[in-house]
Structure 1
Amino acid sequence: MKLLLGIAVVVLALADAGQSPLQRRVVKDVLDYFHSRSNVQFLFREQSVEGAVERVDSSGTFVQLHLNLAQTACRKQAQRKQNCRIMENRRKPVCLACYKFDSSDVPKVLDKYYNCGPSHHLAMKDIKHRDEAECRAVEEAGKMSDVLYLPGMFAFSKGLPA
């Protein structure tokens, strides 16, 4: 059992090492959001990240993650959060997270969307379509094509007083 736990820790460490700084930031933000929910009583850990996407364009960086969480034995109010062991056969929610960061030295979040629930929840067709649409909208955040600006545009936006 200890060998299995040791292997799991190594796998998690390798997974964390393969993530970009923005991906780690998204994981931390999603976990903070998930733990802030009133119906969550226990701490959850990142179990794995699937389908990580990171695209850079002129408007910034888009990050999309499918994050698998696992419930630990520690209550979320616990002082010690480092040594919480993962509970087998407990809740294993899945989160979809889509974030758009600007291109600054310390990237700011331009837009974000996340949805967490049981794994079968995110596979439902109507939820999947909504998630895809929300992620597309997040990816488009900050692009100049969203705003058409013409010189003098505001000068003629209102009619002259009668």
Structure 2
Amino acid sequence: MRLPVSLWLPLALGVAAVAAGQSPLQRRVVRDALEYFHGRSNVHFLFKERDVDGVIEREDPSGTFVRLHLSLAQTSCRKQSPQRRCRVLENGRRPTCLACYKFDTGDVPKVLDKYHNCGPRHQLAVKEIRQRDEAECRAVEEAGKAGDTLYLPGMFAFSRGLPA
């Protein structure tokens, strides 16, 4: 079954318009969230970005905090063998991801902390999950502020040994 141009063209143009209005850090968060989602073992198909909303980008002395909701659309392609022309399935799954990232203030921003939660739209609306998401995103936003001890992958914490 082929979709008429009137159905897939607005979707294709919409994704391009969404990407054009995003900051470089927002585009990076979207790309990372898609990689995270596709890296899950229960995801077998390739998903495309459908919409980005609820974008918050705040700067403070410790860095830049980015929070967004990413709506995805299932395509006809398997994730192991993505093709150039993967059409969006009309009745496919439409999960939503919440992504919260904190970047440092360097010339090439490094991720200080991050949080992802992806699932069906109705699941992310459950009160308990929403409350947990809010708490996790607040913790991400606070990363790197004065007094916080931050350990990134590859860093080692050394302590002084007691005298013998």
Unmatched 5+ residue regions in structure 2?
Answer: 150-162
More deviation, 137-146/36-45: 137-146
Q: How does 1:116-155 map to 2 (within 5 A)?
A: 116-146=118-148
Aligned-pair RMSD on alpha carbons? Answer: 1.6
In 1, the alpha carbon distance for the partners of 2:25 and 2:85 equals: 25
Matched, 1:78 2:81: yes
TM-score (norm 2): 0.86
Please state whether the residue corresponding to 2:7 is helix, strand or coil: helix
Q: Who is 1:30 aligned against?
A: 33
Q: Who is 1:99 aligned against?
A: 101
1:3 Cα offset (Å): 2.4
Deviations 1:25-46 (A, max 9, x none): 1111111111111111100011
In 2, the alpha carbon distance for the partners of 1:45 and 1:7 equals: 14
Larger radius of gyration: 1
In 1, the alpha carbon distance for the partners of 2:6 and 2:127 equals: 39
TM-score (norm 1): 0.87
Q: How does 1:14-25 map to 2 (within 5 A)?
A: 14-25=17-28
Please state whether the residue corresponding to 2:41 is helix, strand or coil: coil
Please state whether the residue corresponding to 2:105 is helix, strand or coil: coil
Please state whether the residue corresponding to 2:30 is helix, strand or coil: helix
The number of residue pairs the alignment matches comes to: 149
Matched, 1:4 2:10: no
Q: Who is 1:151 aligned against?
A: none
Q: What's the % identity of the aligned pairs?
A: 65
Unmatched 5+ residue regions in structure 1?
Answer: 148-160
2:46–2:82 Cα contact (<8 Å) kept? no
Higher helix share: 1
Please state whether the residue corresponding to 2:65 is helix, strand or coil: strand
Please state whether the residue corresponding to 1:40 is helix, strand or coil: coil
In 1, the alpha carbon distance for the partners of 2:141 and 2:82 equals: 37
